[in-house]
Amino acid sequence: MTIVALALTFALVTVAIGAGSVVGLIVAHRVAQNAADLASLAAAADAVRGADGCSTAAEVTRANHAELTTCALDGLNVTVEVRVELGFVLGSAVSARARAGPG
């Protein structure tokens, strides 16, 4: 009886850890996508005003707990890519890309 209880406890703990990892991955991806969207919009708004959109994108990305990995200006159109580190799995990260501009 004790062995069965231990086996069931181990199975439940394993499932809980797996579910927690999946939820953490989903949350990190949402954070990355939101940071990319906001950074591209802010950069495009600055590009319309004639300012450096990529520096603004970097600030917005940092404020959203992400890292700007790519920022490309094509006229008034801006494409950014950001990265968010996964705290529960060392060395891994999720990334997201967004584009904003009038064209």
Q: Where are the domains of the chain?
A: 2-100
Give pLDDT, residue 89: 62
Question: Which residues, in sequence order, are CB contacts of 34 under 8 Å at separation 6+?
Answer: 64
Q: Which of 48, 88, 80 is nearest to 64 (CA)?
A: 80
Amino acid letter, residue 102? P
The more confident residue out of 75 and 99 is: 99
pLDDT(25) > 80: yes
Which two structure tokens, joined as six digits, stand for 53? 């959109």
Which H/E stretch holds residue 100? strand 93-100
Rounded to 5°, the CA angle 38-44-50 comes to 140
**Does pTM top 0.85 for this prediction?**
no
pLDDT tens digits for range 61-85: 999 999 999 999 998 899 999 999 8
Give pLDDT, residue 75: 87
